[in-house]
Amino acid sequence: MRTLRSIALVATTLFLLIGCGRNRSDSAATSNKVRVGYIGITCEAPIFTAVEKGFFKEEGLDASLVKCEWANYKDVLALGGFDITHHLVMYFLKPIEQGLDVKFTGGIHRGCLRVQAAKSSRINSITDLRGKRIGVPGMGTPPFIFANRVLGAHGIDASKEITWRVFPAGELGLALDKGEVDAVADSEPIGSLLVAEGKVKNVADQAQDAPYKDEYCCAVIVNGKFLAANPKAAAGATRALLKAAKWVETNPAAAARLSVEKGYLASNPELNTVAISHLRYVPSVSGAEIAVNSAAAEMKTAGMLSPTTDVSDLAKRAFVHLDGVTDDWLQNLQVEKVAGGQVPPDQDIRLYAELILHDSEGSCCKAKKVLAAQK
């Protein structure tokens, strides 16, 4: 993610006018219309599923997708370029602290961020990172924020005791190989693929380590003005996305194929299955509210929020409960189980990833044959 400099406001305005603005409608006047923002990444599978499986239509909504870029994603949502999406809680908390009018409404999934060290290194714990160089895909990115949280929780001042190095996400492993960094902070699918290649070991794993393993990293988030004008549409769109998350958890391989085959992201179904298989799409309303509180508290400890910020007050401003969007509703919600849509429980997903990575021609077929032979 590139840091926006002096042209940020102009770039955002132009983007809204010639990009996202094309799909804009008067949502206040037509409350059944909802614009859903997306970037085109693996974890957005529920967005694509909700469209393709008709979950928005079931809620009486006419949904349109608005493709945006990382660099101005928050600005486009804040300025009304789209109405709703799901995204990383930590990515929005600082802007909300500063007055961004958006609200979280429900948790989508857990476990997409990692801090990893070279497999052969002597770094085995977070405290071993003191004084080290950590590679990140950008300052202010979710991996950077997660690493800061973890470091701060272990008494390390990330602004003084860590040297941060920025590399494109796909080059983090290379930076480790070349000795340019001692560790990396990344997200899926990069984290799992580096493990599959035998390059790294996990030092902090949001999917496995307490207290992060039960925390929702991604949640539904709604433009505040859209919510105020269209509370029923906001609730319906939230339900559509939460139902889609449950569908993805039940059918991860099918969701991975859908995302690729429908052209929502550039990958292949097998590799996308690897990435999705490491995420837990167990939607929760209370889980998202808890995540907002815990993330805000640790971000304040890490110095990423103002020392005067009241964490409880920030969480109350950041999260809202909507009619018909409850844990009880989710508990009773049933979704179909698609034939061939699951990852076999005995499948070695890391071997699968490794075969895909190391055999560029015919890799998917080879992976399937090896895994079939294991059964």
**What letter represents residue 150's amino acid?**
V
DSSP string, 225-268: HHHHH-HHHHHHHHHHHHHHHHHHHH-HHHHHHHHHHTTSSSS-
Please check whether the domain covering 113-205 is classified as CATH 3.40.190.10: yes
The two tokens of residue 308 are 């005067």
Distance CA 288, CA 290 (A): 5
DSSP string, 286-326: HHHHHHHHHHHHHHHHTTSS-TT--HHHHHHHHB---TT--
3-state secondary structure 148-184: HHHHHHCCCCCCCCCEEEECCHHHHHHHHHCCCCCEE
- 110: nearest Cα among 270, 256, 284: 284
Q: With beta carbons less than 8 A apart as the criterion, state whether 111 and 206 touch.
A: yes
- pLDDT tens column, 339-350: 999 987 655 555
> What's this model's pTM, rounded to 2 decimal places?
0.78
- pLDDT tens column, 112-125: 788 999 999 999 99
Fold of 8-110+215-332: D-Maltodextrin-Binding Protein; domain 2 (3.40.190)
How confident is residue 74, by pLDDT bands cut at 50, 70 and 90? Answer: confident
Residue carrying structure tokens 């990382």: 70
Q: Which residue has the higher pLDDT, 31 or 228?
A: 228
- pLDDT tens column, 269-281: 887 887 788 788 9
List the domain boundaries for the chain. 8-110+215-332, 113-205, 344-375
Sign of CA dihedral 233, 236, 237, 238: positive
Compute CA distances 73 → 2, 12, 67, 79, 315, whole Å. Answer: 12, 9, 9, 10, 21
Q: Which residue has the higher pLDDT, 17 or 305?
A: 305
Number of other residues whose CB lies within 10 A of the CB of residue 344: 12
How confident is residue 19, by pLDDT bands cut at 50, 70 and 90? Answer: very low
Give the N- to C-terminal CA distance of the chain in Å, as an integer.
Answer: 41
How confident is residue 370, by pLDDT bands cut at 50, 70 and 90? Answer: very low
Which residues face 220 on adjacent strands? 86, 106
Instruction: State how beta strands 33-38 and 62-67 pair.
Output: parallel
Q: With beta carbons less than 8 A apart as the criterion, state whether 172 and 186 touch.
A: yes
Distance CA 219, CA 238 (A): 10
For the chain, percent of residues with pLDDT exceeding 70: 83
Which residues face 134 on adjacent strands? 164, 183
Distance CA 88, CA 155 (A): 24
DSSP secondary-structure letter at 141? S
Q: What is the pLDDT of residue 333?
A: 97
Residue 45 has pLDDT above 60, yes or no: yes
Average model confidence (pLDDT) for the chain?
Answer: 84
Q: What is the pLDDT of residue 46?
A: 97
Same fold, 8-110+215-332 and 113-205: yes
Distance CA 107, CA 103 (A): 12
Q: With beta carbons less than 8 A apart as the criterion, state whether 252 and 277 touch.
A: yes
Q: Which residue has the higher pLDDT, 150 or 20?
A: 150
Question: What mean pLDDT comes out for the span 148-166?
Answer: 93
**What letter represents residue 144's amino acid?**
F
Q: With beta carbons less than 8 A apart as the criterion, state whether 214 and 110 touch.
A: yes
* Residue partners of 246: CB distance under 8 A and separation at least 6: 281, 282, 283, 330, 333, 335
* Residue partners of 125: CB distance under 8 A and separation at least 6: 203
Q: Which residue has the higher pLDDT, 205 or 37?
A: 37
Out of 141-155, 164-178, 230-244, 346-360, pick the least confident. Answer: 346-360
